[in-house]
Amino acid sequence: MLEVLETIEAMRAAAREWQRQGHRIALVPTMGSLHQGHLALVDQAHREADRVVVSIFVNPLQFGPNEDLVRYPRTFDQDRARLEEGAACALFYPSAQEMYPEGRSQTIVVVDHLSRILCGVARPGHFAGVTTVVAKLFNIIEPDVAVFGEKDWQQLTIVKHMVRDLNSPVRVVGVPTVRETSGLALSSRNKYLSLEQHEAAPALYRGLLRAQEHWRAGERDREVMRQVVTDSITAVGISCEYVAVVDPDTLSESPRTLSGPTLIALAAHLGKTRLIDNILLEETQD
């Protein structure tokens, strides 16, 4: 039975009661508009703990002034029904007023350098909004484990750093990206795509797979890899915001000659819709 909790007090009381009973709690933070990718996070959460809390909160703090806060898809009834089919135990669904009673938070949690690179360049303040709300959720629910998708690799990395830097007793777990059969990574923002854009969008993952083929064939030149991805994307008329070839842990640019695990991450624009994706290349794939 899925319990919907709308206040911090009720959420905290339920979580404390589970802890008192000796249960382990896993948190899946979301902004709703749930799809199979989110449900994969919930499945993983069940493997990690015996009580699963899903939060749905479209966090105003992580949207820039010209971003899609107002049109971000809000599908609460559908989301609740999807979670009722699965085995989530509680749905934390606070209002903006509940989370930010003063309108904005005076306290901001910033993972400094990592928040300013890659997606942080075009979205200043975005990751500070994410880490602030995630820190709040961690303080409210006090989960043992928190589960995030690897599609948002930079977000996952930043949250791992936050937890380490603040000595937070939460274990952060990443879950592989779920994709459509076309290869397009599932995202709530895919709903914005026109039919034509939806047909073009799998080029993002195709580009990443092409880079993976080059990697498997022994290519280790960073710029060649970057170009392979960029060419695949721009060939179908998609505009690239960035294609980065980086260390998967530090997100710093890889040396010109690649060695060891390498992440290729990208952001691209299809009309007004901004999509991200990534692929991890490992030596064992040779």
Q: What positions carry a catalytic annotation?
A: 38
Distance CA 29, CA 207 (A): 29
Burial string for 175-192 (b: 16+ CB within 10 Å, else e) reads bebbbeeebbbbbbebeb
Q: For ligand PAF, which is the closer residue by CB, 121 or 235?
A: 121
Q: For ligand PAF, which is the closer residue by CB, 170 or 225?
A: 170
Q: For ligand PAF, which is the closer residue by CB, 189 or 210?
A: 189
Asked if 232 touches ligand PAF (CB under 6 A), the answer is: no
Which range binds ligand PAF by CB under 6 A, 23-31, 93-101, 194-202, 278-286? 23-31
Q: Which of 133, 200, 228, 279 binds ligand PAF (CB under 6 A)?
A: 133
Which range binds ligand PAF by CB under 6 A, 79-87, 127-135, 201-209, 278-286? 127-135
Token look-up 């777990």 returns 173
Which secondary structure element, helix H or strand E, spans residue 25, and what is its range? strand 25-30
Distance CA 77, CA 63 (A): 23
Asked if 62 touches ligand PAF (CB under 6 A), the answer is: yes
Q: Counting runs of H as helices and runs of E as strands, what totals does the chain give?
A: 11, 9
Measure CA 249 to chain center.
Answer: 15
Q: For ligand PAF, which is the closer residue by CB, 58 or 270?
A: 58
Distance CA 176, CA 184 (A): 13
In angstroms, give the least distance from the CB of 227 to ligand PAF. Answer: 30
Q: Is 23 left (phi over 0), alpha (psi -120 to 50) or beta?
A: beta
Sequence-separated (6 or more) residues with CB below 8 Å from residue 34: 56, 75, 78, 79, 82, 83
Asked if 233 touches ligand PAF (CB under 6 A), the answer is: no
Asked if 59 touches ligand PAF (CB under 6 A), the answer is: yes
In angstroms, give the least distance from the CB of 285 to ligand PAF. Answer: 27
Q: For ligand PAF, which is the closer residue by CB, 32 or 248?
A: 32
Asked if 143 touches ligand PAF (CB under 6 A), the answer is: no
Which range binds ligand PAF by CB under 6 A, 86-94, 128-136, 162-170, 224-232? 128-136
Task: Look up residue 235 and give its DSSP letter.
Answer: T
In angstroms, give the least distance from the CB of 159 to ligand PAF. Answer: 8
Which range binds ligand PAF by CB under 6 A, 28-36, 85-93, 163-171, 196-204? 28-36
| Dihedral over Cα of 115, 157, 64, 232: its sign | positive
In angstroms, give the least distance from the CB of 162 to ligand PAF. Answer: 12
- Percent of residues in the chain assigned helix, strand, coil, to nearest 5: 45, 20, 35
| Residue 250: CB atoms within 10 Å | 13
In angstroms, give the least distance from the CB of 25 to ligand PAF. Answer: 17
| Residues from 150 through 169 that contact ligand PAF (CB under 6 A) | 152, 155
The residues binding ligand PAF (CB under 6 A) are 29-31, 59, 62, 130, 133-134, 152, 155
